[in-house]
A = this chain, B = another copy of it.
Amino acid sequence: MEYTAEIICVGTELLLGSVVNTDAMDVSKALSELGINVYYHTVVGDNPDRLKAAVELAKNRADIIITTGGLGPTYDDLTKQTLAESFGKKLIFHEDQAERVRGFFRHLNKTGKMTDNNLLQAWFPEDSTILENSCGTAPGCAFLSEGKHVIMLPGPPRECRAMLKSGVVPYLLALSDSHILSHNIRVFGMGESAVEERLHDLMLSLTNPTLAPYAQTAEMSLRLTAKANGPEECERMMKPILNDVLAILGDVVYGVDVDSLEEACINHLKEKGLTLACGESCTGGLLSKRLTDIPGSSAAFSGGVVAYSNRAKTSFLDVPSELLSLKGAVSPEVAVSMAEGAMNRFGSDIAIGITGLAGPDSDGSDIPVGTVYIALAAGTSRFIKKMSFGNYDRDRVRTAAASNALDMLRRCLTGLKPAPEIII
């Protein structure tokens, strides 16, 4: 059967704009991957009456009601009590859960002191399935009443996300006997609208598997999801679609089921047993930072130099001071020289050099703000790319510059022709 779900997020901090509602996004994403329709999100404060009103509405328009927040130990955590009332259920004390909470405090402090309000986390609506919380003290729960599936999740994003995976998805999958598998197709160098244009007909023609685009900063991804009786069948259904997508998009796809450009690059480097170094000016360490975000990157990343000043470019990357005065710090020649310097000084197989004007202010020269030169040195080969991000702010210039550097590296490592000058 086709299920419809509604998400109710509880928390005054959301209504004050103190925090962004990532829970609603995470729950929605999980549900859409399960093929469950979501027609409404509602956010209410820590107010039982308004929460009850939202629940009454949801009862009349959804089969599944998922709440986030209000499961904690403080006086204003009222979600379980309110939902129990809405569905005419008593709250039941679970001794095993109480013991778990006590144990948590014993572990937390020598004295094992715990205020009694923490035991609120051991009370659940009758006939509830308890959803364990792997990152916090407040468990979630789920029950079926009046033909509605009610699922309550904790508010802290990490706890909510973990419980979605460990508790909610299995619970919802059990509603049908079908199995769900997804592949994440990562795209860099083609805008979302251009991708959607190329895939529009395919996306519309699909019902199962489904193909959904997700926008990211300076890149995008496509999520291919199949629903079938078993994983093998899911894979069998997705294979031809995946091949179609790869054929249609070509080499702007930098990976499938990989998390980021930097992860793809680190993986390629490790496979080939190569090492990378970088010399950064305008990106100021962002490229190194992103590469070292990846666990185990030390095996492939030798290191980097953030050379803002000409002095640093000369003394750390052996950029000739004549070259700097002759061509200027923001020039293709200096970018190449920075890459070569990093390669030699770190003794790496490959190196990237980036120099440019991130802005907002010009350097007084006639070089427009947003101009960035990216050079890649690999053994004796040299690649150079000029980017013009005139309409970007400092942040986006730096992010796009680092991303384009990583894409150049990815293309070089996979034997692809260097990318055309794409402005993301």
Does the CB pair A293–B395 fall under 8 Å? yes
Tell me, yes or no, whether A181 is within 8 Å of chain B by CB: no
Decide: A39 and B29 in contact? CB cutoff 8 A. no
Q: Give which listed residue, B19, B305, B346, contacts A303 with CB less than 8 A.
A: B305
* Complex-state Cα separation, A213 to B213, whole angstroms: 36
Q: How far is the CA of A329 from the CA of B75 in the complex (A)?
A: 48
Given A285-B289, A305-B303, A312-B346, CB of A44 within 8 Å of CB of B50: no
Contact A304 B306, CB 8 Å, known A18-B212, A214-B18, A360-B295? yes
Asked if residues B18 and A213 are in contact (CB atoms below 8 Å), the reply is yes
Q: In the complex, which residue of chain B has the Cβ closest to the Cβ of A30?
A: B17
Interface locus among A20-28, A138-146, A172-180: A20-28
B residues in contact with A19, CB < 8 Å:
25, 214-215
Given the complex of chains A and B, what is the CA–CA distance between A50 and B288 in angstroms?
47
Contacts of A394 in B (CB 8 A): 293, 295
Contact code string A37-59 (vs B, CB < 8 Å = 1, else 0): 01111111101001000100100
Residue among A44, A45, A286 with most chain B CB within 10 A: A286
Q: Distance (Å) between the CB of A218 and the closest chain B CB?
A: 14
> A residues 152-183 with Cβ under 8 Å of B?
none
The listed residue (B20, B312, B361) touching A20 by CB distance below 8 A is B20
Knowing A18-B215, A20-B25, A40-B50, the reply to whether A305 touches B305 (Cβ < 8 A) is yes
Judge whether A302 is part of the interface by a CB distance below 8 angstroms. yes
Asked if A14 lies at the interface with its beta carbon under 8 angstroms from chain B, I say yes
Complex Cα spacing A280 to B306, Å: 11
Interface flag for A66 (CB, 8 Å)? no
- CA–CA, A385 to B188, complex, Å? 41
Task: Check: A105 CB closer than 8 A to any chain B CB.
Answer: no
Copies of this chain, count:
2
Assembled-state Cα–Cα distance A319/B328 (Å):
32
Of chain B, the residue at the smallest CB distance from A9 is B41
- A306-B303, A360-B295 known; A29-B17 Cβ under 8 A: yes
A347 at the interface (CB under 8 A from B): yes
Q: Is the CB of A361 within 8 A of B295?
A: yes
A118 in contact (CB, < 8 A): no
Chain B residues in 8 Å Cβ range of A1: none
Tell whether, in the assembled complex, residue A28 and residue B17 are in contact, meaning their CB atoms are under 8 Å apart.
yes
Shortest beta-carbon distance from A34 to chain B in Å:
11
Q: Which residue of B lies closest to A41 (CB)?
A: B43
Taking the closest CB of chain B, its distance from the CB of A159, in whole angstroms, is 14
A29 to B41 CA separation, bound complex (whole angstroms): 19
The residue from B20, B40, B284, B296 contacting A42, defined by CB atoms under 8 A apart: B40
Does the CB pair B309–A298 fall under 8 Å? Answer: yes
In residues 298-348 of chain A, which contact B (Cβ within 8 Å)? 298, 301-309, 311-312, 315-316, 345-347
Question: B308, A312: Cβ atoms under 8 Å?
Answer: no
A164 to chain B, nearest CB (A): 11
A15 interface contact, C-beta 8 A = yes
**CB–CB B359/A295 < 8 A:** yes
On whether the beta carbons of A28 and B15 are closer than 8 Å, the reply is yes
9 contacts between A and B (CB under 8 A): A17-B30, A18-B215, A19-B214, A40-B43, A57-B57, A298-B308, A298-B309, A303-B316, A305-B316
* Contacts beyond the supplied A284-B301, A286-B292: 9 A-B pairs with Cβ under 8 Å: A17-B29, A17-B31, A21-B24, A40-B44, A295-B361, A298-B308, A302-B311, A302-B312, A306-B306
Cβ-closest 10 pairs across A and B: A284-B292, A17-B29, A285-B288, A17-B28, A285-B285, A41-B43, A285-B289, A303-B312, A304-B306, A288-B306
